[in-house]
Structure formats: structure tokens, C-alpha cells
Structure 1
Amino acid sequence: MPDVKAVLLAGGRGERLWPLSTPELPKAFLSLTGPDSLLRQTFQRIVPWLPAEAVYVVAAREHGDLVRQQLPELPPDNLILEPAPRNTGPALGLAALWLEAVDPATPLVVLPVDHWIGGERRFRAALEAAVAGARQGWVVTLGLPPTRPETGYGYIEVGEPIAPATGPGDPPGNPPGDGRGSGPGKAGGGLPLYTARRFVEKPGPAEARELVASGRYWWNAGIFVLTREVLAQEIAEHLPGLHGLLGEIRVAAAAEGLAAAVERLFPRAEAVSFDHGVCEHSHRLAVVPALFEWSDIGDWSALGRVLPRDHRQNASQGEAALVDSEGLVVNAGTDRLGVGLGVRDLIIARTEEAGLGCQRDQGQGVREGG
């Protein structure tokens, strides 16, 4: 697609996939759901739609060599390295600074690399719809109808349909079925665009059940599309401290170069996610329904849901002998045999350095060293 850029976010540490994911080799660079790493899979998912020259990667400085090894097609100037982890808000601010020479009206497709996606044609249709909405001035996120009361995901309350060619601040389209219109406007790719009323980040079990039962909430996929200009405006409005720091970096870069200025000043940024810092407060937020299969590979249980399973719902990687066992997620490595006998709903993982065993419903609490 012409004049669109993609920003791949590869700075996460993946602590809940310990002991496989480590600070030296985080989950983005691991082959968890196939022969390629999550980073490589994300890149391959986007490059049929965009040229490699239109793709940028934000990663930790210490993982620069891993990105270069796994994405040899990536132009060297398209690798944006953070000297310190500061979450997705500053990461996108840094990307906006890096792309200042790009036309302000250019849509940016923001893709976390730790996602599993099935149905790539539907995925691209959702992106095309989101790009069309971004061209109207919206901050567009992809929302997925929930299939269960998941406590590890954020939720979006879906609002009114948005008429075609309607920007933020204009009256919304008529609600579907109200007798005054043909339903929601099509943003592009044949998919509707809706306002997003509010975010609910990682609710507890009872609230998650209520949100799903209401029928008004979708999972937030964490995939955003907005123009470079709107990204800069949203950061200025909702993250003024980050906006000021980016201005300091811009001034310093004129004297010492952008990379040196980022190295020296970026660690002062306050850590905040783009969801919390911007989306929860934005008046431009819109949502496109995502009709593809999706999972955020955030922990072992999430990984177990996308891996092939046997008739007793056991998901295993490596050699595993599972007898009278059910609902296991097993990563036995490549050079050892994993054995499960008469056990249920466990996570079992082992590397050369460490091992993990816990109840499957405790997967969200996994961190290095317990």
C-alpha cells in the first residue's frame, strides 16, 4: 500500500514466558509458534502488503544484533534502538521523532511483534480499514469480539458507527438498525468503523465476565493505525513530559546527531504504555472489528492455546510423553524427554538453566525466579 509505514514494537521483555524468554533472548526473538521467531513472523506478515523499506523496528539497544540477524532485509536506518526500556508510549514517541522527515499525513501501522495471527487475508482487510480511518484523523485500534472472559487482555467499549469521511469532532453516523440510515460507514476493506468509548485494562475475573456478557466490549488487540501528525499531536496533548523530552532530543540532535542525543536523553522518559498514556484519554479513538484469529503470546497459557493440541488438550513442544494427563502446556526443549503422568492443567517448561512448574491459571504471575 503506497505511503504507509509500519512500526514493529520489539522491545518487550517477555517475563511471563520465563524460563524460555530471558533478558538476553526475549520472546520476540524466539521461535514459539513455528520455525521463525515472532519478530520474523510479524515482518513476513506485513511485507507482502508493504515493502521492506517502509518497515521500522523499535527494539532495545542490546538486541540490535538480533534484529539485524533475523531481518537482514531491514534497511539499517530503519532500526530504532532504545537505550533503556520505557514501554510503548516513549517507544512510539521515539518512532515519531525518527520519522519526522516523512509526510505528516502518512499512516503508521503499529504492530507488537508478540502476536499470533491466523487468517492473513482478513488481517490485511482490517489494516486497510484502519488505514482509511486514520486518513480521516482517527486513532484506530483493532478490536476482536471476545470468546471468553480473559483477564490478561484490555477491553474496548464499542460506541457509535462512524460515517465515511467523518473525522473526530464531526457527528457520528447513525447507529445500526435505527431506521435512519444503512448502518455503520465503511472505513475501507468493507469493514465498519466505530467510535471507542473507553478502555478497560486487564479486568478481574468478575468484571471480565460482565464485560463479555454485555456484548458491548471487544478485546483490544494493541494494533494501532494513525498518521504521523496525529501521533505527534496525541503525545503533545496527553504525554506533555514526553513531548518536551522529544523536543530536547530534537535540539540536541542538531549538534551531536540523533543516535547520540537519544542515547543520552531518552532514559529520562517516564515509562508508560501508549494505551494508558494516550488511548485512555484520546477523543479521536476509533475501532475496526478484527475478524481474524488472534492471540497475544503473553504467557504460557496463551502459547498453549495456539499450539497444536492432542485429544486431551495437551500442547507440547519437544519430546513429551503424556500419560493420563489433560490440559498441559509442556516445553521440554530439544534434547530431553518431558513426561507427564496423571496430571492436569499444568505448565511445565525447562531450559539448560532453569525449570518451571505451576498451575495453568497461575501463568500470568510467572516471572524470572518466581
Structure 2
Amino acid sequence: MLCAIIMAGGKGTRFWPLSTEEKPKQFLNLLGNRTMIKMTYDRISKILPKDRIFISTTSKYKGLVLEQLKDISPQNIIVEPESRNTSACICLSNLYVKKKFNNCNVIVLPSDHLINDEKVFVDTVLEADKFLYSNDKSIITFGIKPDRPETGYGYINYDLDSSLKINKVISFVEKPNYTTALKYLNEGNYYWNSGIFVWNVNLILNLIDKYLNNTYKVLSPILELSDYECEKFINENYRLTDNISIDYGVMEKYSNISVIEGDFGWDDVGSWSSIDRYNKKDLDGNILNSSGVLMKSNNNTVLIKKKILLNNVSDLIIVETDEYIVVSSKEHAQDINLARDYM
């Protein structure tokens, strides 16, 4: 049996001012006419019934989840009272799944990623799930073959000599600089780390117990509590968990991790350049979501509510919200989020 946990507690501040702490990017229509979380939920719903799909989020976003995912049962929304990094979130979510289904495989999915080929995605998920039935001590992660020296993603170094589709992970690598990313691209035995994992629920909980014993000890009593008692217990004790990522806390310490290539058109939609990659452009490379006139202007991304005139400008990002108008060069788009502290 396979269950899914969709991680939807992130604050999405890299897309400020469109994405805010009140309504982060997973709840926005950034690419198309569905929100990112709705696209993720619809995608995994193709192979799983709704009672086996869980949403992990913070108390701040529970209302947005219920508003946007009409089919989800409130009992399948796992609520963190506060953000404590991914290890606590993973532990809590998998304990909930274990309470309901005891022994199953679990796929963990970010809520705000783009996947273009849903059929290939579904086939890859099913293949990973099948692999675990004969390799239940393994963890599988989905790797994306790089097509550029991307510095915004983590990487997976894997066993290039293997002839299998599912290969041994040698190591996880943090976000590199440009020179190192180009080296990884040329060497050919590195994937981008998609952040998608498949594991057996009992295996991941045993590993958290082993490597992050405090977190497991804090949260594991919920296995014996009623739903009402769980909520009260978590609200009182969640702050005592370790504030560390699952990558640092478990993945870097466990050797039996494999990677399957996810050739399904993936993007984590984590930067303004990803908006450029997937939105329709005019003949001069401009993206414009409203009416306006662009004279001798090229390669601009304009997301506004009013009519606009651009005259003889290039490589700009122009964003309008109810509170702000932001204008930035694309070259320094990564500084937009830093500047918000001055607003």
C-alpha cells in the first residue's frame, strides 16, 4: 500500500511580493489556472484515493488547504503548531500515517513543484513503490538530470557505473557555486535533488528514532492517543523537537539510499527565472499578464494589474500587488527577497 504526504508548510519568501507569509507560493496560481498545491494534489490523486493522501502544514495555513483542496478530509491534514524544520515535520507526518495504516510505503512530495509530464511521473512513482517491496530497508529519492549549471538546487552524486534504472546514492551535495555546478554537469553522475522521497513508514520512523532520538521520543506517544488527545499533546510538546532538516539529521547518516531518474519535466519553481521558463512570451521575450504596450523592450517579466507602457527597457521584473510595486533587474532578482525587510 502506498500513501502520500504533501509538504505545504513553507513560507515561500523567495517570490515576495507575490508570495507572502500570509499566502505563500504553494497557494498561488503561478503557472496556469490552478494553484501549486492543487496541481500537486490532483497529480498524486491519479494513483491514490483521497483517504491515503495527507497534507502537512502549519496551523497558519490549514484554512487555505481546506479552501483549495475541497476533497481533502480535515482528518488528513497534519498540523504543526509551529515550523520546526523538516525532521520534526517528517516524524509527525509519518506517525500519523502509521496510526492509520500501520505498515505502508510513503511518498513525500513538496507542494510547490512543477511537473509537466504527469504520466511519466505516475509511472516513476509506481516503479519506486514496487522496488521497495523487495528492498524495504532502502529509501528512494527522485533525481532530475541537469540541463544547465544550476546553483539554486542541491545535487545527488550517484553510482554512474550501475546499469540499473534505480542506482545507489553516493552522497547528497549542497547548492554549489557556478564553477562546481558546471563540473557536476560535465561529469554526468549528478542529479538535481527534487526533494521527493519514497520509503517504508516503519523504516523512516526507526531511523528517526536512531539518529534523532529526542524528536522521536517527543512525538511517538501520539501513536497511543486519540485524535483529540493528539492535537493537545502536539500543541504542548512540538517545540521540544530538534530543529534540524531531515537531510542533515537522517539522510547524510544512512547508507542505503537509492535514486531513480525523474524524467518528467520537473522544476521547483524557486526563482524568478522559473517563471520565465514556463510562461508564454511575446516575440521579444516579454511576459505580460495584463494589457499594455511594450515599445523596443525585450526580455521583461511584467506581472501587474493595470495597463502599462514600457519604452526601451530590457531584462526587468515588474510586479504589482495590493501593497507593493517592485521593479528589479533580472540580474539581481535574488536580492528582491532581501530588500523586503526594508519595506
Query: What's the TM-score, normalizing by structure 2?
Result: 0.92
Q: Which moved more, 1:348-357 or 1:272-281?
A: 272-281
> How far apart, in 1, do the equivalents of 2:168 and 2:62 lie?
37
Quick check: 1:16–1:365 contact (8 Å CA) kept in 2? no
1:63 is displaced (CA, Å) by: 1.2
Letter in 2 for 1:65: G
1:219 to partner: Cα distance? 0.5
Give the counterpart letter for 1:86 in structure 2: R
Kindly provide the amino acid, as one letter, of the partner of residue 48 in structure 1. K
- In structure 2, the gaps of 5 or more residues are none
Q: Determine the C-alpha separation between the residues in 2 that align with 1:286 and 1:320.
A: 50
Q: In structure 2, what is the Cα distance between the partners aligned to 1:60 and 1:348?
A: 31
Deviations 1:295-334 (A, max 9, x none): 10112222221222223332333335333233222211xx
Map 1:104-143 → 2, pairs under 5 A? 104-135=102-133, 136-137=135-136, 138-143=138-143
Q: What is the correspondence of 1:288-327 to structure 2 with a 5 Å cutoff? A: 288-327=260-299
Out of 24, 39, 42, the position equivalent to 1:26 is 24
2:291 and 2:269 mapped to 1: Cα distance? 22
CA deviations 1:182-217 (Å, max 9, x no partner) are: x32xxxxxxx10011111121111111111111110
SS at structure 1 position matched to 2:99: coil
CA distance in 2: counterparts of 1:243 and 1:294, whole angstroms: 32
Query: How many angstroms apart in 2 are the aligned matches of 1:320 and 1:285?
Result: 51
What do residues 124-180 of structure 1 show as CA deviations (whole Å, max 9, x unaligned)?
1111122123331211111111011111111001116xxxxxxxxxxxxxx45xxxx
**Cα offsets for 1:98-149 (capped at 9, x unmatched):** 1222445411111101101101111111111221233312111111110111
Please provide the CA RMSD for this pair: 2.0
Q: What CA deviation, in whole Å up to 9, does each residue of 1:252-305 have, x standing for no partner?
A: x47970011111111233333323332222212110011111110112222221
Matched, 1:356 2:326: yes
1:3-82 → structure 2 map (5 Å cutoff): 3-82=1-80
Q: Write the distance in 2 (CA, Å) between the matches of 1:322 and 1:240.
A: 59
CA deviation after TM superposition for structure 1 residue 345, in Å = 2.4
TM-score normalised per structure 1: 0.86
Correspondence for 1:151: 151
CA distance in 2, matches of 1:317, 1:86: 37
1:23, distance to aligned residue in structure 2 (A): 1.1
Please list the CA deviations of residues 72-111 of structure 1 after superposition, one character each: whole Å capped at 9, or x if unmatched.
1111210111110122221111101212224454111111
Name the SS for the 1:44 alignment partner. Answer: helix
Point out where structure 1 has 5 or more consecutive residues left out of the alignment: 161-174, 177-182, 185-191
Structure-2 change in CA distance of 1:309 and 1:282 (3 Å)? farther
Pick which of 194-203 and 260-269 moved more: 260-269
1:87 aligns with 2:85: yes
Secondary structure at the counterpart of residue 343 of structure 1: coil
Distance 1:256 1:75 in 2: 16
Whether 1:226 aligns to 2:199 is yes
SS in 2 for 1:366: helix
Does the 8 A contact of 2:215 with 2:240 survive in 1?
no
* Letter in structure 2 aligned against 1:227: N
Aligned-pair CA distance for 1:248: 5.5
Query: Matched residue of 1:264: which SS?
Result: helix
Contact 1:324 1:342 in 2 (8 A): yes
C-alpha distance in 1 between matches for 2:323 and 2:255: 48
State the alpha-carbon separation in 2 of the partners of residues 237 and 295 from structure 1. 33
State whether residues 328 and 344 of structure 1, in contact with CA within 8 Å, keep that contact through their aligned partners in structure 2: yes
Greater shift after overlay, 82-91 or 5-14? 82-91
Q: Secondary structure at the match of 1:101?
A: helix
**Which of 186, 207, 227 lines up with 2:180 in the alignment?**
207
2:288 alignment partner, SS class: strand
Q: Cα–Cα, structure 1 residues 105 and 193, in superposed 2: closer, same or farther, change >3 Å?
A: farther
User: 1:249-264 alignment to 2 at 5 Å?
Assistant: 253=225, 257-264=229-236
Distance 1:287 1:32, change over 3 A: same
One-letter code aligned to 1:24: E
Q: Distance in 2 between matches of 1:194 and 1:36?
A: 34
Please state how far the C-alpha of 1:16 moved relative to its aligned partner. 0.7
SS at match of 1:99: helix
Q: Secondary structure at the match of 1:148?
A: coil
* Of 254-263 and 8-17, the range deviating more from structure 2: 254-263
How far apart in 1 are the matches of 2:182 and 2:228?
53
Q: Is the 8 A contact 1:140 1:226 kept in 2?
A: yes
